[in-house]
Structure 1
Amino acid sequence: MKQDFASAAVGSDSEVFQAGNVVLQSGRTFRNMSIVYKTFGTLNADRSNVIVYPTSYSAQHHDTQFMVSEGGALDPSKYFIVIPNLFGNGLSSSPSNTPWPDVGTRYPDVTYFDAVHVQRRMLAELWGIDKVALVYGWSMGAMQAYHWAALFPDAVERIAVVCGSARCAPHNKVFIEGAMHALMADPAYRDGVFTERPVRGFRAMGRVYAGWALSQTFYREEMWRGLGASSLEDYLVTSWETTFARRDPADLLAQFRTWQSGDISANDLYGGDLKKALGAIRARVLLMPGDHDLYFQVDDNRAEMAHLRNAELAPIPSVWGHRAGNPVNQPEDRAFIETRVKTLLAT
């Protein structure tokens, strides 16, 4: 029986693209696949002002749309901005909303390759868009931006890769393993499915994640006090034990699998040759890793730079670690990102 741990209804501020039955990279067919999306701004006559802004791990468009603002880089008065919710986030097709028989261990895992192909179909079928001015993304959104550029080199003019990489690095995979297994260690997880709400698993996963998402300096300087926490324990409980508990646990695992398998060359087009995939990218590439990020490291992007045709490396100088790229509470980080993305769009 399908467990309903968390409901995520499509709100009045978003719409749904019905993709129908999609044959995935794995060979499985995902029946009645759908993308929930939100748009901002107006598409111009020649369809040249399109920005695609895919979501990050466990995030929904409500969580990321703060970056869309007049006067900012993602300016709805200038651009037509589309936020497609990534599969597995509880809004677009996910374990929590996919009907039988594709439930539990039968859920068909989705790769970034699958995701961006359906996103491109959506743009073409709904608006007749065949080229985008920019794909902007943070974390898993950044990895989608990289996939857009590598898989559709003639359709993408620019990408902004914020705290992301072209391939999930080995150390990054180890981090994901730790967070995944903290969640799966809950006794509610049996035979590959969650039989009830994994309260202890959510708490454990949040605490594992907290140690990776922010830097040693963040904790040494007790910067969590600026977020309203009265102690380190208070911060872990209020900001991290609750962070992922709002999502369905099966959705969280599904997105982890998408993340771990991320590789722009893992397809028939490039045959696993990462250098070839990077060299095929024609878009202008802005790489913005966090200089204190513990799992998407500057060195990963620096190694990619050697094989990109037209790229700039601009590390974000921030002790917020990975979360430097999601500057909800960091005006300096946001200003750094917005300034460089505006420059990218102006070229």
Structure 2
Amino acid sequence: MPFNSHSFGIIALAAYQPDWNLFRTQLLSIQAQTHANFQCLISADGGDAEVEDFVARELGADERFRVLGFPDRLGFYGNFERVLSEVPENASWVALSDQDDSWYPTKIETLLPYLDSVSLVAGQARVVRLPGNQVVAESTQRSNVGLGSLLAQNQVTGSLCVFRRGLLDLALPFPRLETITQVHDHWLAVCAKATGDVRLVSDVVQDYVQHGGNVLGEVAGRKSPAQSLNHLRDMSRKYRGSDSPVAMLQAANDLSFGWRRVMADALRKRLDLSNAADDAVAAYETGHRWMGTIRTLVSGLRSGEVALPCFLEFLAGFPVELFAKASRL
């Protein structure tokens, strides 16, 4: 069945202590979609009664919106996994939603037809900073890249994408590595690229709102070496419980090779890979061969598919990777 105005889908929205004004704007923008055949599942990561009351008050009797209440807090990664686990079998497509953006009315209508030929499609966003609605960028300018580069550096922002419901059969349950680089949209993107392709289109389909409460925001500008070191120290304290040199090296590996290894190992276990996908996965999986890994990263850097800061993060992760490889010999 073609993906058209008759296709039923699910909008999966992860909520946690939302800013009520921004949440209202997002809900109303979803309600106003020109493609109206959907159900919006709102997973409240704790505090569901307050969210449910707000949704009922703002949207009235619109039965397309349903709040799923959970008492335990899982964080955004687990919360998206939880709401995606509730997507019914009769849905044809799934769109992800944050709680604080603003969709343009034709977003779903614009993106849906691309699913006739790919597993996942993502548009672009205008980046807006609060307070004052200052336009930071007219477009996020995400790019189409190969699987090896996509594993290294994510190009798919969850709130900008729509994907076939069947992708969840591969993606769930989500693989785990407790680090900030563990993100749902990156995992869904590599699953789609490894099976049915990903397409990023130039259409700007929403405002991506930047504010003080963003879990992950649109990065503006390049970090200085001192800022990068401070960021690594913060991540080491949070995820490794220490900012000792050894802990920081381990954190650097988690932030680069670690998360990619978790994804690559999961793909290897769950899929019969094509030759092209096999080469990309082999560059990052446990026991990877260094020549293939270096070739993939350098090729991505030279082509512009992998940015220099991302490449440098992998260099920072090399010492622990080398030690782990030597230990296995």
Q: With structure 1 as the length reference, what TM-score do the two structures score?
A: 0.25
Question: Greater helix percent: which structure?
Answer: 2
